[in-house]
Amino acid sequence: MAKLKTEYIEKIYSGWLAKIIGIRLGAPIEGWTYRKIQNVYGELDHYPVDYQLFAADDDSNGPLFFLRALEDGEEKFNLTSQAVGEALLNYAPFEHGFFWWGGYGISTEHTAYLNLRNGIPAPRSGSVEQNGHAVAEQIGGQIFIDTWGLVCPGNPDLAARYAEKAAGVTHGANGIYGGVFIAACIAHAFEERNIRRIIEKGLSYIPVDCEYSRVVRAVMDYNEKNPKNWRDCFAYIHANFGYDRYPGNCHIIPNTAVMMLGLLYGEGDFSNTINITNMCGWDTDCNVGNVATIMGVVCGPGGIDYEKWRKPVNDFLACSSVLGSMNIMDIPYGALYIARLAWALAGEELPEPYREIAESRIDSCHFEYPGSTHAIRVRAEDGRAGLEAELINSGEAAHSGKRSLKVHVMPLMPADRVFVYRKTHYVPGDFHDSRYDPSFSPLLYPGQTIHGSVMLPEYAHAAQVSLYVHNSANDSIITGEKVTLKKNEWAELSFTLPSMEGAIIDEAGFVFDMQGESFARFDLSCFIDDLWFEGEADYTVDLCQAKEDFWNPLHREIAQFSRLKGLWYLADGYAHLSCGDFGEAYTGHHAWKDYAASFIIKPVTGHDHYVNVRVQGAIRSYAAGFARDGRLVFAKNENPYRILAEVPFAWEAGRDYAITVAARGSRFTVSVDGREYIVYTDNDRPYLSGCIGFSVRNGSHCAYRMITVRPEPSAESAG
């Protein structure tokens, strides 16, 4: 294979960005008919809903989390369907959030998930032989597949092979062919701009006599003979490939037909392609998301209208995995994660500055992608109306790399305070709705360090700046050292947060104090770059002070936590977790490494009461706690849990215990009420990072009152 081109990095970003744009465009009218869209909107060529923030969506949940099978799986880049199936089990909550849980035999993904949970391996889990044609050939085989094309830029052979493994976890027959086709088209679009040749390449990887090939060829033939009016083509599709001809809730074939219509009649223009596809109706967010990814790669970042499509998105992405800290993403993070994998697959090193960013601070705000904003926001201290703020990705100046974010805010007065920040935690009030039940744990915690760089250009008004965080638990601002900025000189700032109790950090960034003469009216102009966080947490959570996030009557969360399964609620000064079979809930950050986590727990009923550390998902973590027959155990979740060590311990229901688990490299110690009981070193593919949580099994009920997280000196520093 030819060496990967540097330009692919930006095309991966524009492809992933376009996927999110397409989902957002189609989501409000998902399931509508062409006639209803026409009656309501006439010609729909814009976002139908002006979202406050767009909540999670199944079409964006699946692609990025399933891709993690390349790193999590035992065979790594030699991808297997079982590795993708385990990624599904690991990152999806049990029967809520992530995607549509419509019931076994109704929802294809739900059916496959339960098959996997009950020991049916992939790809049998999604096969026609297991689930029948109606279930196996729904649309999900292609809507979650885009990243397998993006991670194989210019290599449709590999994209098709990976897509077959991935789609086969949940789908069969035409459901798999659709995944292979879309992934191959995306991969080929890195090198080919002609839409017909891209489609032909995708078709070369699937059987010529399958129904999927038949519908694609039929639309291509119709377009060739009738190239002017896409509505005539849709009438042809409706008559020959409509929903009435295929079984199930959302079959892949009718939707593939309108996707081909959009690609062909859009004639290579990004906006025309996604608007035409959206106007056809049916599964709009899925269809537009797929064609947008192809067109995002073809057109690159510059081919996507900024004001119309990109600015409302502001690089923000919410997800609804089982790990709350992974549910707050920006689009550049996803793009760089994909690019890092793509270059590793090719056996090459990423070009700078992307390599250094990907290795040391992949979730930083680095602004290297043209037009990127990393979901940065601006507000004044008094929350006034009428403040105008512009965020402009700029090549005028950069602290590192080639680009930064130019910030312009007006009108301002002397002594005004302006906050330029990244949201690090979200609550229901931040969102327009509760699509796919998101839940969030903060990205930043007390004890960690913030880094950021800022510069005033020559034409800017004077200002002082400091790094800051906002603690939403008590609505307080905590700032680092204040610096007087010198024009045309980058100031490198850092601020280590103090240890705190009960804090929820929901903002982190720069606070500017304007300088100047009284009553003068002026503006803020500055460049910011390289905003990122590092270090281990140092904080305490008293669960008797915890609050509930109310999204809707069917979606409630304990603030800062995400729930895998079980009854999880607040009562009598404790957080309670109970289950019929098993239950788990998590908090903290998925990238934490060496730390000591202490928990006060009270077994209520049943025989299995645990705390968890190094949680990497629903089937990847360690647990310590009380088991049947008076035992203290330390176990590793490898789907299922495996006990690594145990000692006798005569625990009692109804009594508080302080359990501390210290994780340092692959070495773990478990203490109860200050006494060390278990020391264990895991030399078998240890989990070296992850968040914390609680778990119960076998119908147990446990109450939890306190969490304390402290840094644990790393194995390297201790040595």
Rounded CA gap, 46 and 65, in Å?
Answer: 29
Among residues 644, 649, 702, 694, the alpha carbon closest in space to that of 668 is found at: 644
Could you read off the pLDDT of 533-557 as tens digits, one per residue?
999 999 999 999 999 999 999 999 9
- Superfamily name and number for 540-718: Exo-inulinase; domain 1 (2.60.120.560)
Q: How far, in Å, are 249, 505, 511, 534, 537 from residue 477 at the CA level?
A: 50, 10, 10, 20, 18
Among residues 112, 555, 82, 121, the alpha carbon closest in space to that of 320 is found at: 555
Torsion of CA 613, 617, 620, 624, to 10 degrees: 30
Could you read off the pLDDT of 210-227 as tens digits, one per residue?
999 999 999 999 999 999
Q: What does the domain layout of the chain look like in residue ranges?
A: 7-318, 377-535, 540-718
Per-residue pLDDT band at 718 (split at 50, 70, 90): very low
Angle at 641 between CA 58 and CA 679, to 5 degrees: 125
In the structure encoding, which two tokens stand for residue 568, read together? Answer: 């999880």
**Threshold 0.95, pTM exceeds:** yes
Question: If you ran DSSP here, which 8-state letter would residue 85 be given?
Answer: H
Per-residue pLDDT band at 354 (split at 50, 70, 90): very high
**pLDDT for position 413:** 84
Contacts of 214 (CB under 8 A, 6+ apart): none
Rounded CA gap, 199 and 252, in Å?
Answer: 17
Query: Which single residue is written with the structure tokens 């501390």?
Result: 660
**pLDDT for position 521:** 73
Could you read off the pLDDT of 463-498 as tens digits, one per residue?
999 999 999 999 999 999 999 999 999 999 999 999
CATH topology (fold) of 377-535: Jelly Rolls (2.60.120)
Could you read off the pLDDT of 408-443 as tens digits, one per residue?
999 988 888 999 999 999 999 999 989 999 999 999
Residues 502 and 540: beta-carbon distance below 8 Å: yes
Rounded CA gap, 403 and 653, in Å?
Answer: 59
pLDDT surpassing 50 at residue 383: yes
User: Could you count the other beta carbons within 10 Å of the beta carbon of residue 413?
Assistant: 12
**pLDDT for position 220:** 98
Could you read off the pLDDT of 268-323 as tens digits, one per residue?
999 999 999 999 999 999 999 999 999 999 999 999 999 999 999 999 999 999 99
Q: What is the Cα Rg of the chain in Å? A: 26
* DSSP string for residues in 347-407: T-PPPTTHHHHHHH-TTSB---STT--TT-EEEETT--TT-EEEEEEESS--SSSS-EEEE
CATH topology (fold) of 7-318: ADP-ribosylglycohydrolase fold (1.10.4080)
* Mean pLDDT value of segment 368-385: 92
Element at 311 (helix H, strand E): helix 311-313
Rounded CA gap, 132 and 483, in Å?
Answer: 66
**pLDDT for position 541:** 97
Could you read off the pLDDT of 44-79 as tens digits, one per residue?
999 999 998 999 999 999 999 999 999 998 888 999
**pLDDT for position 280:** 98
**pLDDT for position 180:** 98
Residues making up the chain, counted from first to last:
719
| Fold agreement between 7-318 and 377-535 | no
* Mean pLDDT value of segment 356-378: 98
Torsion of CA 112, 118, 119, 122, to 10 degrees: 0
* DSSP string for residues in 660-672: EEEEETTEEEEEE
Report the b/e string of 548-577 with b at 16+ CB within 10 A.
ebebeeebbbbbbbbbbbbebebeeebbbb
Instruction: End-to-end CA distance of the chain: give it in Å, rounded.
Output: 43
**SS3 state of residue 541:** strand
Per-residue pLDDT band at 518 (split at 50, 70, 90): low
- The burial of 396, by beta-carbon neighbours within 10 Å (0-12 exposed, 13-18 middle, 19 or more buried), is given as exposed
Rounded CA gap, 688 and 268, in Å?
Answer: 46
Which amino acid appears at position 241 of this protein?
F
* Mean pLDDT value of segment 181-201: 98
* DSSP string for residues in 481-535: --EEPPBT-PEEEEEEPPPEES--EEEEEEEEEE-SSTT--EEEEEEEEEEEEES
Question: If you ran DSSP here, which 8-state letter would residue 53 be given?
Answer: S
Question: If you ran DSSP here, which 8-state letter would residue 34 be given?
Answer: H
pLDDT surpassing 90 at residue 706: yes
Per-residue pLDDT band at 519 (split at 50, 70, 90): low
* Mean pLDDT value of segment 188-207: 98
* Mean pLDDT value of segment 111-124: 98
Per-residue pLDDT band at 714 (split at 50, 70, 90): low
Q: What is the mean pLDDT of the chain?
A: 96
